A and B are shown apart, each in its own frame.
Chain A
């Protein structure tokens, strides 16, 4: 398969997954969690590189541990989770920076989809499909949890389980996004399409679909533009997202 088409395929899939899940992360006021979480992936990626495993596996493993940690913290209200999360994540980043082999550091920080292989493409397809299949099943509980946890509990939604499933999907999306945007820019893949979609949608269906669509468009155009100008795609994808946001802000009606 043509390597550029493979990149485009993977990039668009990642954009869809990140845009779609990001729309819920923004509603849950978790948009910066995606950003902070992505830092945790770095030591995982580094260890994977050091022992010769696919870096995605290492990053995903570290992220899964981190989300289970957050899930545990969320339930202990006596601790201020924000502070702890902030500390743990920056420490992870520091450790990651120290142990990531020099040649791979830039790629780990900013992502480089030009190095994508067929295995990554298949994995991305499977995992994005999983997110698109699972998330719609937990939408009611997720949104009710935002409106009022008491209301959700009284209607017998199991918020504890729903939160864990949601966080695991965040781990998947962030791990996938690392290929495209890297540790430092990953957060933008989940925030920007959702923020743009929120500007111009009235209901949840159009909002979440539009966010997935914007994710696909920004990833696609970013990768095409980066290829044309011969630069790394990650930053261009983020800039394309920024442009998209400005356009929606301009056409925004007050709903």
Chain B
């Protein structure tokens, strides 16, 4: 099967190298988790995939691939006079399409639509952003998980939503995650980075204690997955 995205030897350099030798690929319907410690270059990788930062190496998307992007932690000013409804109307789409994505993310509610975008809760805002990115029927969703503003339950709900969207829409997802538990449960593949590539493959196969200690330091071996423990790397 033709890959949706092929990343080969990608590097990003600002004052110093922030990312080196990253290679992986993504196929239709896969959920690829990007993990790594703080400052590992996860968000930079996502921004490189979107063409927002200059990079070396090659990033090739399948021709005409539609990419939806949900950025990390957007702070919308509560005083910004912009209703949720108006925010969705920024994308040229039919009323039917908009109403459909609002239903999909559970925000199709008059009261919420009339609210200012900046007054949504953290979880609602994330769902709004996911819904917004779905309007133009993306093939891939790039989701840069927020580290703050959402409680554990809200995070779980978002993962369930992404999982459902992925099943219903045959959507591929690239998600930056801080929660290894979520990675084990929802990701079909994982790419681990720490300034450079550490591992790539199926989570159960590649996330061994060696890879984890490369990522998070030696004690992190303790975080290796056990089926009933909740595993959360705090950054």
B81 touches A204 (CB 8 A): yes
Interface size on A, residues (CB 8 A): 22
Residues in B neighbouring A27, C-beta threshold 8 A: 80
A203 touches B69 (CB 8 A): no
Bound-state CA distance A205–B47 (Å) is 32
- Interface presence of A79 (CB below 8 A): no
Bound-state CA distance A182–B116 (Å) is 36
Bound-state CA distance A143–B83 (Å) is 12
Bound-state CA distance A178–B31 (Å) is 57
| A and B contact pairs by CB, cutoff 8 A, 9 listed | A143-B82, A147-B76, A150-B52, A153-B52, A154-B71, A155-B91, A203-B82, A204-B83, A207-B81
Bound-state CA distance A150–B91 (Å) is 15
Give me the 9 closest cross-chain CB pairs, A-B, nearest first: A154-B69, A140-B90, A203-B83, A207-B81, A204-B82, A201-B81, A148-B74, A204-B86, A150-B71
B76 touches A153 (CB 8 A): no
Question: Given A146, A154, A198, which contacts B67 in the complex, CB threshold below 8 Å?
Answer: A154
Q: Which residues 153-193 of A sit at the B interface, judged by CB distance below 8 A?
A: 153-155
- Interface presence of B235 (CB below 8 A): no
Bound-state CA distance A204–B67 (Å) is 27
Bound-state CA distance A205–B83 (Å) is 9
For B76, the closest partner residue in chain A by CB is A147
Interface size on B, residues (CB 8 A): 27
- Interface presence of A249 (CB below 8 A): no
Mark each residue of chain B from 66 to 106: 1 if its CB lies under 8 Å from any CB of chain A, else 0.
01110100101001111101100011000000000000000
Mark each residue of chain B from 176 to 215: 1 if its CB lies under 8 Å from any CB of chain A, else 0.
0000000000000000000000000000000000000000
Given contacts A151-B69, A154-B50, contact A202 B74 (CB under 8 A): no
Residues in B neighbouring A150, C-beta threshold 8 A: 47, 50, 52, 69, 71
B71 touches A151 (CB 8 A): yes
- Cβ distance B119 to chain A, nearest Cβ, rounded Å: 8
Bound-state CA distance A255–B52 (Å) is 35
- Cβ distance A210 to chain B, nearest Cβ, rounded Å: 9
- Cβ distance B41 to chain A, nearest Cβ, rounded Å: 16
- Interface presence of A47 (CB below 8 A): no
Residues in A neighbouring B85, C-beta threshold 8 A: 203
B69 touches A202 (CB 8 A): no
Residues in B neighbouring A155, C-beta threshold 8 A: 69, 90-91, 136
Given contacts A146-B80, A203-B81, A204-B81, contact A255 B90 (CB under 8 A): no
- Interface presence of B114 (CB below 8 A): yes
Question: Given B47, B74, B86, B136, which contacts A203 in the complex, CB threshold below 8 Å?
Answer: B86
- Interface presence of A6 (CB below 8 A): no
- Cβ distance B94 to chain A, nearest Cβ, rounded Å: 16
- Cβ distance B10 to chain A, nearest Cβ, rounded Å: 18
For B46, the closest partner residue in chain A by CB is A150
- Interface presence of A121 (CB below 8 A): no
Residues in A neighbouring B69, C-beta threshold 8 A: 150-151, 154-155
- Interface presence of A144 (CB below 8 A): yes
Residues in B neighbouring A205, C-beta threshold 8 A: 86
- Cβ distance B67 to chain A, nearest Cβ, rounded Å: 7
For A141, the closest partner residue in chain B by CB is B90
Residues in B neighbouring A143, C-beta threshold 8 A: 82, 90
Residues in A neighbouring B51, C-beta threshold 8 A: 153
- Cβ distance B137 to chain A, nearest Cβ, rounded Å: 13
Residues in A neighbouring B91, C-beta threshold 8 A: 140, 155
For B92, the closest partner residue in chain A by CB is A140
B116 touches A255 (CB 8 A): yes
Residues in B neighbouring A151, C-beta threshold 8 A: 69, 71, 74, 129
B83 touches A202 (CB 8 A): yes
For A147, the closest partner residue in chain B by CB is B76
Bound-state CA distance A137–B129 (Å) is 22
For A194, the closest partner residue in chain B by CB is B81
Residues in A neighbouring B133, C-beta threshold 8 A: 154
Residues in A neighbouring B67, C-beta threshold 8 A: 154
13 more A-B residue pairs beyond the given contacts A140-B91, A154-B67, A154-B68, with a C-beta to C-beta distance below 8 A: A139-B90, A143-B82, A146-B80, A148-B71, A148-B74, A150-B71, A153-B50, A153-B52, A154-B69, A154-B133, A198-B81, A203-B82, A205-B86
